[in-house]
Amino acid sequence: MSGESGFTIAEVALVAVFVVGLLAVIVVSARGITNDTRTSDCQTELRTLKMAVAEYQANNDVYPGSVDAVISARLAERRDVDRWIIVGGGGEVAPTYRSAGGCPSAR
């Protein structure tokens, strides 16, 4: 058998471990990118909602009591702010904001 060429079991196992490890790194990286994107989208939605609330207050001299009030006033589209809820707004009290799901809460 000394004249035959090929791979040993150890070499094949080493390549298999390398490929599995590489796939694991790729999967973990993809999850991190997805999470970063979700966080960025949430921050953008919150910023959009806060600007719409400020415009609502400037136009009406009161804060909106809900996201629906901002949408009804055509200051934001539902798809642009649908991950957030206005808490404690209405009247002269500045609102706080709570995640409707999938986003970290904010004030």
In a domain? residue 107: no
In a domain? residue 46: yes
If you count them, how many residues does the chain have? 107
In a domain? residue 40: yes
Q: What is the pLDDT of residue 40?
A: 86
Q: What is the pLDDT of residue 1?
A: 53
Count of domains forming the chain: 1
Q: What is the pLDDT of residue 50?
A: 95
Q: Would you write out the chain's pLDDT as a tens digit for each of its 107 residues? A: 566 778 889 999 999 999 999 998 888 877 777 777 778 889 999 999 999 999 999 999 999 999 999 999 999 999 999 889 998 877 888 899 999 887 766 55
Domain containing residue 89: 9-99
What would the 3-class secondary structure string for 36-102 be? HHHHHHHHHHHHHHHHHHHHHHHHHCCECCCHHHHHHCCCCCHHHHCCEEEECCCECCCCEEEECCC
The token duo for 99 is: 């995640």
Claim: this prediction has a pTM higher than 0.85: no
Q: State whether the Cα torsion 52-57-63-66 is positive or negative.
A: negative
In a domain? residue 18: yes
Q: What is the pLDDT of residue 34?
A: 72
In a domain? residue 52: yes
